[in-house]
Amino acid sequence: MDKGTVHDREAADDNPVTGSASAEDAAAGLGTQLVRFSRLLTAYRQKARLESRSGERVLLAKLVRDGEHRATDLAAATFLDLSTVSRQVRAMVDKGLVERRPDPEDRRGALLRATAAGTATFEEYRRQRDAGFARLLEPWPEEDRYQLIRLLSRLNDDLQDFEYARPEPGKVPGPGGEQGATQE
């Protein structure tokens, strides 16, 4: 396997790619494709001028799907810094998308929940996203679409469970990383 790809764009339509890869080759290919995918998503978001609301979308999605959260739990669940979550929550409260209420278990804290307007905003974000992906995936064979979702779900589940998914405070994700350390 060529490190970085298992997909020959020209041959993909006529002959589905099959084969195997060592864990090392798969890791190299996955790393290359994830970096490429991340850059393409960033370019897409900038082109669509959605980047400034990406944190809002992530937080609203979590609140709509999973219900009330404290800000600290919301930050941990979305892999965002607490200061980012606090800033985003303030803006969403001001827009009427999120409301705060006292935490009945600890009156010093507050629980956050999506309002009806927040839920409607989330549903509109999701509708726009899904419509774009539907256009993108329309020419793909049904089996490829199914396998994409199956394998991406598996990858996300494994990444979430991976021991470095939630680094300890002051640590850089990865083996033995200290904050400020460079990763190669």
Question: Which range marks the domain in which residue 93 is found?
Answer: 52-164
What pLDDT, on the 0 to 100 scale, is given for residue 7?
A: 53
Query: Is residue 32 in some structural domain?
Result: yes
Query: Is residue 183 in some structural domain?
Result: no
Residues 10 and 78 in one domain: no
The closest alpha carbon to 165, from 84, 77, 86, 83, belongs to 77
Query: Is residue 73 in some structural domain?
Result: yes
SS (H, E, C) 10-43: HHHCCCCCCCCCCHHHHHHHHHHHHHHHHHHHHH
- The total of structural domains in the chain comes to 2
- pLDDT < 50 stretches in the chain: 1, 4-5, 11-12, 174-184
Cβ contact 68:112 at 8 Å? yes
Indicate the residue type of 63: L
What pLDDT, on the 0 to 100 scale, is given for residue 96?
A: 97
Q: Would you state the structure tokens that stand for residue 160, as one six-digit string? A: 């979430």
Spatial CB neighbours of 22, under 8 Å, sequence gap ≥ 6: none
What pLDDT, on the 0 to 100 scale, is given for residue 118?
A: 96
The CATH number that applies at residue 78 is 1.10.10.10
Cβ contact 33:21 at 8 Å? no
Residues 42 and 18 in one domain: yes
Spatial CB neighbours of 117, under 8 Å, sequence gap ≥ 6: 95, 96, 97
Residues 96 and 137 in one domain: yes
Query: Is residue 174 in some structural domain?
Result: no
Residues 62 and 138 in one domain: yes
Residues 126 and 84 in one domain: yes
Give the burial string for 111-149 (b: 16+ CB within 10 Å, else e).
bbebbeebeebbeebeeeeeeeeeeeeeeeeeeeeeeee
Residues 33 and 113 in one domain: no
Cβ contact 63:98 at 8 Å? yes
| Matching residue, tokens 């394998």 | 151
Q: How many CA atoms lie less than 13 Å away from 54 in the CB half-sphere?
A: 12
What pLDDT, on the 0 to 100 scale, is given for residue 177?
A: 42
